[in-house]
Amino acid sequence: MADAIDLAAGVRSGLWSATALTRSALDRIARHDTLLNCFTHVRAEAALAEAGRVDASHARGEPVGPLAGVPFAVKNLFDVAGHTTLAGSRVLAGGAAATEDATAVARLRQAGAILLGMLNMDEFAYGFSTENAHYGTTGNPHDPSLIAGGSSGGSAAAVAAGLVALSLGSDTNGSIRVPASLCGVFGLKPTYGRLSRAGAFSLSASLDCVGPFARSVRDLALAYELMQGADPRDPVQAAQSCTGVFDPALAGLHEPPLSGGGMRVGVLQGWFRHGASDQALAATDSIAAALHASGATIAPVQLDDAAIARSAAFCITGAEAGTLHLPWLATRAGEYEPAVRDRLIAGAMMPAAVVIQAQRLRSRFRAQVAELFERVDLLLAPATPCAAVPHGQATMMLDGKPVSARANMGLYTQPISFAGLPVVTVPVQLATDRLPIGVQLIARPWAEGLALRVAAMLEWHGVAQCRPPDYG
């Protein structure tokens, strides 16, 4: 599949129609999603009607938007008008249909994108594998016997498989970055508060972010640009909003969009290399080497409280999620997946003193991060400790010891979420690797533009690249 920018350009030039693009995408879904199980609902009739309206507007000479006719899909925790928001659960399945789209969904549709449907996820976004007891397991397009990651696994897998050009996910502790890593696509977790979360079902209000997946950096940047802006429906959105992040130079990529000259890059050590597989370390080191070759200064750096920050993030996530779910847990606990139910109950019972201490640590950790960004412009770390593991595998090896695979895929993402930092995850697949793995490009708050431009340079040089899978 061509990327979203090229697809939309073809619609605007008359090379193809939005209807043709939509039919083609629906055909791919029909042929391949029985194997991958990315979608929980496909809006075939509605999507074709929307595409027809784009084509009619274009025929009348009206502007049709920067994503005209581009097929996209969203994690099923985003509100879509006329549909019940499931959030991967049975608990919400009998609820009323949403009356309006989530803000992020609405802004992509306003840009001309065609919404094909809603995507599978871990129940209530509380997991890293997208093995859902209610809606099935999502397969990794590079090998359907392996996990796609989570909790936005359906979103990453649908893009990796070419079923859609763009998708939306959410990230609380790594739920965009982990599936982007395991499925080999680009993913953006923005600064906490940058993009509106209105209409997206929450897991942990003080950590949740929404963001896009794409097969190219320029698509990622454009989707991010289009979703920005103040939103009165999102009371926690930060006051800072930025436009102009989408660099027109990214649209052509006829030359490197950025030189590394003068840039200071820190490669996170300690916790962020502890337990990492040889593949994860090699991928991170290949990114560092490419940036060094472009003129950047590379240095090892530390975040001393990363392990404690991860533990505190676990506590805050559990407490906020447990409190949100307490009314349902009291009356409908049997409708939850057992592992999710037990974590939510534990979170609801967490002593207030623990949560207060975790929040105090957040202030201290953010100060450490701010001090580090006085010395560097960008940080590098693996996105996951290893590549995708088989479905149903309860454990993975970490420093020679078996640990929970479901809990530890977010080993390197959780401390970064705790500080609210923006991250672009770039896919790396070295010649010796059968599967892709991701590397986090971590910027200071509100500096998504820098991370996107560095990602574009790495993509242009072929160091970071979304490689189409052969899934049959």
Asked if residue 109 belongs to a domain, the reply is yes
Asked if residue 466 belongs to a domain, the reply is no
CB 189 within 8 A of CB 422: yes
The verdict on whether 151 is a catalytic residue reads yes
Q: How does residue 239 score in pLDDT terms, banded at 50, 70 and 90?
A: very low
How many whole angstroms separate alpha carbon 451 and alpha carbon 405? Answer: 28
Asked if residue 472 belongs to a domain, the reply is no
CB 73 within 8 A of CB 117: yes
The Cβ of residue 17 has, within 10 Å, a number of other Cβ atoms equal to: 19
434, exposed or middle or buried, with CB in 10 Å at 0-12, 13-18, 19+? exposed
- Identify the weakest region by mean pLDDT among 73-87, 361-375, 390-404: 390-404
Can you list the alpha helix ranges (DSSP code H) found in 230-387?
249-252, 278-293, 306-332, 338-348, 352-372
The Cβ of residue 345 has, within 10 Å, a number of other Cβ atoms equal to: 16
The verdict on whether 75 is a catalytic residue reads yes
Q: Which one-letter amino acid corresponds to residue 330?
A: A
Domain that holds residue 349: 4-460
The verdict on whether 175 is a catalytic residue reads yes
Asked if residue 80 belongs to a domain, the reply is yes
Asked if residue 50 belongs to a domain, the reply is yes
How many whole angstroms separate alpha carbon 439 and alpha carbon 426? Answer: 5
The CATH number of residue 148's host domain is 3.90.1300.10
What is the tally of structural domains in the chain?
1
pLDDT in tens, 146-177: 999 999 999 999 999 999 999 999 999 999 99
pLDDT in tens, 291-300: 999 999 999 9
pLDDT in tens, 26-76: 999 999 999 999 999 999 999 999 999 999 999 999 999 999 999 999 999
Out of 17, 129, 151, 170, the active site residue is: 151
Out of 129, 155, 167, 175, the active site residue is: 175
On average, the pLDDT of the chain sits at: 94
In order of 46, 72, 108, 133, 321, the CA distances from 156 in angstroms are 23, 12, 17, 19, 24
In order of 53, 230, 444, the CA distances from 421 in angstroms are 39, 19, 6
- Can the peptide bond before residue 311 be classed as cis, meaning omega within 30 degrees of 0? no
Asked if residue 338 belongs to a domain, the reply is yes
Out of 75, 189, 202, 204, the active site residue is: 75
The Cβ of residue 82 has, within 10 Å, a number of other Cβ atoms equal to: 12
Asked if residue 469 belongs to a domain, the reply is no
- Per the structure block, which two tokens stand in for 43? 């809006």
In this prediction, residue 97 carries a pLDDT of: 98
End-to-end CA distance of the chain: 15
Reply yes or no on whether the pLDDT at 103 is more than 80.
Answer: yes
pLDDT in tens, 124-146: 999 999 999 999 999 999 999 99
Asked if residue 162 belongs to a domain, the reply is yes
Number of H helices, E strands in the chain: 15, 17
Against a cut of 0.85, is the pTM above it? yes
60, exposed or middle or buried, with CB in 10 Å at 0-12, 13-18, 19+? exposed
Could you tell me which of 122, 167, 115, 118 has the C-alpha nearest to residue 148? 122
Q: What is the mean pLDDT of residues 443-456?
A: 96
Reply yes or no on whether the pLDDT at 247 is more than 70.
Answer: no
